[in-house]
Structure 1
């Protein structure tokens, strides 16, 4: 799948596909490998779980903001220098997390770790630089599959590392892996774009044309609310697992793979059915699929029959719904204005990650002392309901426009 002009470990040629997968995978791993350690981090710094959970929501918030500037910076200065600078920033921030004396300092360095999101954003841009559109779709599929697989196993690894060596060992592992992948990027990532004088101001000036579009908002809110069910899960599930179900970090890490497995299945269904059903219908049935398991979960919670197995099994079904709906929702938001695909991608991604950060933080707040899973379930179900309503708005708008 890698172009013939690419020579592995030659920084004067385009990178190997494996390098791009690892770039994106490190970003995905950084987000969730330490999730089973959140209770331990709170205990270490003598703070509440909600405060420790800010290491998730603040990270996501900054990741969303970075999506607005990474693209223009890479267009202006090149993919290679922007990626390498981001790698250095990430490594320094990881060292800061390891030696942070207080929770406040830890949270600051955790936010700076979001620089690693550059790998997730630019891996796709580099593919588009390297090959024609048809081949790019296939290559990006491999990259995003790597991004889906890593979150399935990272929490399980993180839980085992926490129980064996303590929570700081997860950040030590990120430091080692980050150093190795950064060295690979330095040796293999040749520049793939011609530098252009595209500024952040130029991109921002195109946003009003999108922000006044009902269809763009509909697709964007659907994507943000649908993925918000998963981000809420990230923020509240560690408290549910450890405080409600009494699970160990290692057990939590294994169960955390459930939504990722479902998401991969949903992606497979999307690839098989999207052309047949069309964008809007694929989004609609995907949002229905992610809502129904949450309704079942709510009923089980209200009747006090919710077990750990049922909770995480139903979350895998939620993952299927997200895997079905998100690719088409993202494609829909970029189809609203074909002349503003880049701006739509950046703004829509920022809205999705920013909304996820807010819901992740809210999940920690509503969980409180973690006496019941119901507050988290209600939050996830509400987010899914918003996704369904937003999809119906898009359908109505498309009918009005004759689309």
Structure 2
């Protein structure tokens, strides 16, 4: 939604203008909340449905996998039909699925509705595309940083609230809370989400036929790989962190939720740095600095555990550094992936998001499968360190490409 003089200013509750930044924060926050608010309830779900933890953990890893698959379609659909109708339809489906989770008679039924809940993933892909519709690349990195900084409030307080609700009222209270918040966000979207895609493609198939144009861009793969690998450490933690915290470190579900807030706090601080300095430092350098911070955090916690300093405060304090690094990295990586081919912003966001979430799902499942009573926390720590180190290599490749061919273009 732009004019010749620049983007149309956003006005709250005006569907003829782009959405207000608060609306973007809420729509992305709900997706994050739904992803991790259930974390402290995994042991309770295992008891309720009489299933092993490794099976119940599919509520996280399978959910992430479905999120990845859906993003392959959500992005192109928004390029064809517009951002607003795709977001509203997916959020409506999410509300129906949440009620299904609440009244599921078996874990198989619960998991089916949980996977349908992944439709809320439209906010993850389309928030980036909407921002890119509104502003140019460097400004997009800064704006995405501010959006995700506000969004970080959800994962910071979500597991805390989820842990308390689970401990007092049971796991169902977590999903009732999610439904109520989801209904509120849906109302906000209906009233405020103006269409920003003024250049829709002629047909849906055209978006998939245009995928090779993205596939030939080395810079797109560099940005997407950086985002996928940097966030991989966090997703691995989603899959294995609850086990390490409860079974190895002896934390209750409420304590796990409280400690989890430290990671989100680090992420929010990293987002603030990105939002404040991305335009001054540049996307590529900001992205590289973030991957270095995340790798240092994982290496530091691994070293402390090797030296015998095994405790919840040490574990989660080091994870704060990982969150901080991701908060610096992801806004720039996401802004980069949707700016390489601006006319394919939705498709790029969907494909890049699918890589990020799909890789995260694989690492989450791997961490959950390798952890057991005799393994200690080592499998999780090694997976996280490898993921963050490979993110550095991808970020360096983007920097080399920019040095040879100039700042962000079409290569």
Q: Same fold, TM exceeding 0.5?
A: yes
Question: Which residue matches 2:314?
Answer: 310
User: What is the CA–CA distance in structure 1 between the aligned matches of 2:245 and 2:57, rounded to whole Å?
Assistant: 14
From 139, 151, 158, the equivalent of 1:154 is 158
Residue 41 of structure 2 corresponds to residue 37 of structure 1: yes
TM-score of the two chains, using structure 2 as the length reference: 0.87
| Aligned CA-pair RMSD | 2.8
From 56, 60, 66, the equivalent of 1:56 is 60
Query: Residues 213 and 167 of structure 1: is their aligned pair in 2 closer, same or farther, counting only changes over 3 Å?
Result: same
Deviation at 1:249, TM superposition (A): 0.6
Question: Which residue matches 2:234?
Answer: 230
User: What is the CA–CA distance in structure 2 between the aligned matches of 1:280 and 1:194, rounded to whole Å?
Assistant: 28
Contact 1:239 1:370 in 2 (8 A): no
From 364, 378, 393, the equivalent of 1:360 is 364
Residue 205 of structure 2 corresponds to residue 201 of structure 1: yes
Question: Which residue matches 2:289?
Answer: 285
Query: Residues 343 and 397 of structure 1: is their aligned pair in 2 closer, same or farther, counting only changes over 3 Å?
Result: same
Identify unmatched segments of 5+ residues in structure 2: 1-6
TM-score of the two chains, using structure 1 as the length reference: 0.88
From 163, 166, 170, the equivalent of 1:166 is 170
Contact 1:75 1:194 in 2 (8 A): no
Query: Residues 5 and 237 of structure 1: is their aligned pair in 2 closer, same or farther, counting only changes over 3 Å?
Result: closer
1:116-140 Cα deviation digits (max 9, x unpaired): 12234444545566x5659877765
Contact 2:142 2:279 in 1 (8 A): no
Contact 1:69 1:200 in 2 (8 A): no
Deviation at 1:308, TM superposition (A): 0.5
From 381, 385, 404, the equivalent of 1:377 is 381
Question: Which residue matches 1:243?
Answer: 247
Question: Which residue matches 2:335?
Answer: 331
Question: Which residue matches 2:4?
Answer: none
User: What is the CA–CA distance in structure 2 between the aligned matches of 1:223 and 1:237, rounded to whole Å?
Assistant: 20
Deviation at 1:402, TM superposition (A): 6.8
From 7, 21, 26, the equivalent of 1:22 is 26
Query: Residues 30 and 198 of structure 1: is their aligned pair in 2 closer, same or farther, counting only changes over 3 Å?
Result: farther
User: What is the CA–CA distance in structure 1 between the aligned matches of 2:77 and 2:260, rounded to whole Å?
Assistant: 35
Contact 2:141 2:334 in 1 (8 A): no
Query: Residues 178 and 270 of structure 1: is their aligned pair in 2 closer, same or farther, counting only changes over 3 Å?
Result: closer
Query: Residues 182 and 399 of structure 1: is their aligned pair in 2 closer, same or farther, counting only changes over 3 Å?
Result: closer
Query: Residues 342 and 238 of structure 1: is their aligned pair in 2 closer, same or farther, counting only changes over 3 Å?
Result: same
Question: Which residue matches 1:386?
Answer: 390
Residue 278 of structure 2 corresponds to residue 274 of structure 1: yes
Matches within 5 A, 1:254-273: 254-273=258-277
User: What is the CA–CA distance in structure 2 between the aligned matches of 1:139 and 1:317, rounded to whole Å?
Assistant: 22
Deviation at 1:105, TM superposition (A): 1.5
Q: Which moved more, 1:390-399 or 1:27-36?
A: 390-399
